[in-house]
Amino acid sequence: MAFELPKLKYAYDALEPNIDARTMEIHHTKHHQGYTNKLNAAIEGTDLEGKTIENILINLDTDNKAVRNNGGGFYNHSLFWDVMNPEGKSRLSGDLKDAIEAEFGSFDAFKDAFSSAAATRFGSGWAWLCVHEGGKVEVCSTANQDNPLMPGIGCEGTPILGLDVWEHAYYLNYQNRRPDYIEAFFNVINWNEVERRYAEAK
């Protein structure tokens, strides 16, 4: 069964003014759709066909550039849409809050670490909050469409929060002001969803 572009749970303009509707529409219908189509083409007729995207990435042959780039692009964006909340009402709480404070000392220190990972990623890539066995959390970043599920990336664990810092994610509204985009992202994080993913992964 081929992968399908996931439908957003909110309208393209729901995250404004933090992320504009035009960027969301292009990002979802052009970029994410493109990764979806190319992933399906890359696995068609292979033993990867019919497997979950998580299974494909965990067992990835990183020399397979088509699956690495497009499988990563498909998974990363699927997570990205889900960890944003147009309601803006959820707050970090529960076990995830405890884990973040245990690792970083405070939410503000975590925010600084995550923002730094996103801002200093040279070129295109992603910033991540990951979970390790036992519930320990880590902030890291990856290049291009790589993610922590992939073997040997140097950023390991189960990703529960991801920020796309490719220019296509923010350039229409923020131009070269990546730090402003990163700050805006914190206004729309769906902490309820991130906490759910944490509970599932730890």
Positions at the binding site for Mn(2+): 27, 77, 164, 168
CA–CA gap between residue 69 and residue 34 (Å, rounded): 11
CA–CA gap between residue 145 and residue 153 (Å, rounded): 11
Residues 6+ apart with CB under 8 A from 48: 56, 67
CA–CA gap between residue 70 and residue 147 (Å, rounded): 12
Q: Which residues are annotated as a binding site?
A: 27, 77, 164, 168
Asked if 20 and 174 count as a contact pair (C-beta separation under 8 A), the reply is: no
Q: What is the DSSP letter of 189?
A: B
Name which of 202, 171, 163 is nearest 79 in CA terms. 163
Residue entry with tokens 């990867």: 48
Count of CB atoms situated within 10 Å of the CB of 28:
18
